[in-house]
Amino acid sequence: MSPLDPFGARLRRTMDARGPLCVGIDPHGSLLSAWGLNDDIHGLETFTRTVVDALADRVAVFKPQSAFFERFGSRGIAVLEKAVADLRDAGALVIMDAKRGDIGSTMAAYAETYLRKDAPLFSDALTVSPYLGYGSLKPAVDLARESGAGLFVLALTSNPEGAEVQRAVRSEDPAGRTIGATMLAHLADENAGETPLGSFGAVVGATLGDLSSYDLDINGPLLAPGIGAQGATPADLPGVFGAAVRNVVPSVSRGVLRHGPDAAGLREAARRYAEEVRAAIG
């Protein structure tokens, strides 16, 4: 599998081979404590190494949450850099969950941090926020295309506060679309004509219930957080995503990570979730 292949094509192949699952790596303090680790750089290193060693060669996608590494400063970023490199070396794909969003040269600098192929934190995809206007993401879109990487744009997130922005109706839109629907339409344009799957995805919460009023057929991946500890189950996916369910990348964090630090427990939890998702989406 060439690293120059577009992210969407690599994602489809990897999920078909390893199972349709993304495991979040979220080393927050309470989880470190539950593992019997201190909430310090040594606990972070042990936690991250355990997850990578247990799962890197069998799970399709990983989503490290950058903030939980950044809180330890440069040493935390070093742990994140190594984890990203080791995961990718093992054939997994990495979605960096950093939710970056800005304008102009600042957005370009964020893009270079995660999407330039020789960058220490180069990842297969990056989560981004479009709420300075979708056009503000252009530096990231352009560099992702050049690098064979992808983006996941916040569209319909699972947090309750998101609705006040994402479900607001644009008064200047003759179709009366919500902001979230507008983001989905932009992504459909980015992915037009791509096969087997476009590289520009949306973040759509698995806890949101019936989304049939939204056109989720963007010809790109739909990153779906919320399975496990947040209450959604793999069986909920068809009801939420409808005909677009095959393009869903279901993300589970605590539902898998709470089974550590035992490596066998982590592997069994990841295997079970992948099988349940596969059964649910057909």
**Catalytic center residues:** 99
Backbone angles phi, psi at 165, to 5 degrees: -105, -50
Backbone angles phi, psi at 224, to 5 degrees: -120, 85
Cβ atoms of 153 and 137 within 8 Å: the answer is yes
Beta-bridge mates of residue 95: 125
Please give the helix or strand (H or E) that residue 2 lies within, else none. none
Task: Of 29, 32, 22, give the one whose Cα is nearest residue 63.
Answer: 22
Please give the helix or strand (H or E) that residue 61 lies within, else none. strand 61-64
Cβ atoms of 53 and 87 within 8 Å: the answer is no
